[in-house]
Chain A
Amino acid sequence: AQTVTQSQPEMSVQEAETVTLSCTYDTSESDYYLFWYKQPPSRQMILVIRQEAYKQQNATENRFSVNFQKAAKSFSLKISDSQLGDAAMYFCAYKNRDDKIIFGKGTRLHILP
């Protein structure tokens, strides 16, 4: 069975600094997708960034980028120029061809002013 592991329950970063959230996963599939979702205190989850496993190029969305290491089954999220609005729970998620998306336990990110 596929699993997603986020080893950092909480992280803190100074405003305007850069922070990296870690995620590892386990799968025997070769074709799958990875996501980072953000859940602010209001609770509604929103997609931050996604990566197709067949693409070697790391995905980037403005201040958010990933470091996708397929062989190591690692998918970290880098947030540059951290802003107060980035404070939230961040969930790493995995999806294969059967459409089920599996989430990690999350990392709570604090932004220090």
Chain B
Amino acid sequence: GAGVSQSPRYKVAKRGQDVALRCDPISGHVSLFWYQQALGQGPEFLTYFQNEAQLDKSGLPSDRFFAERPEGSVSTLKIQRTQQEDSAVYLCASSFSSGRYTGELFFGEGSRLTVL
């Protein structure tokens, strides 16, 4: 597609439910990032993929968070047993970058998760 696509745009979950957020990066982009953005804050790094390899997951806040990119394209961020503090916008970004290349990040519009 022309840009990074995320779905769903909005998700309301009851506390304790599992959710899955999908990201379709720009075709051919090597790198894929997930960020969590709380209201009025900057994006906080969650995890990073280079093709199908998850190179950094240091930002995942707990073991309830899991991300995958099995074929090096579409990625899914899964949150198990959601808690109210998980409420945020989850941003996906992709880049035709690897290592030293200063690849521009292209962002999706985000998935807004509200946990009741």
Contact = CB atoms under 8 A, between A and B. Distances in A.
B85 interface: no
Interface of B: 31, 33, 35, 40-45, 48, 50, 55-56, 89, 91, 93, 95, 97-100, 102, 104-105, 107-110
A101 B45 contact: yes
A37 B104 CA distance: 10
Given A42-B109, A45-B91, A99 B42 contact: no
Contacts of B99: 97, 99
A44 B108 contact: yes
Contacts of A100: 33, 45, 48, 56
Interface string A19-42: 000000000000101010100001
B39 to A, nearest CB: 11
Nearest to B112: A43
Range of interface residues on chain A?
Answer: 20 to 34
A4 B44 CA distance: 12
A68 interface: no
B100 A43 contact: no
Nearest to A34: B102
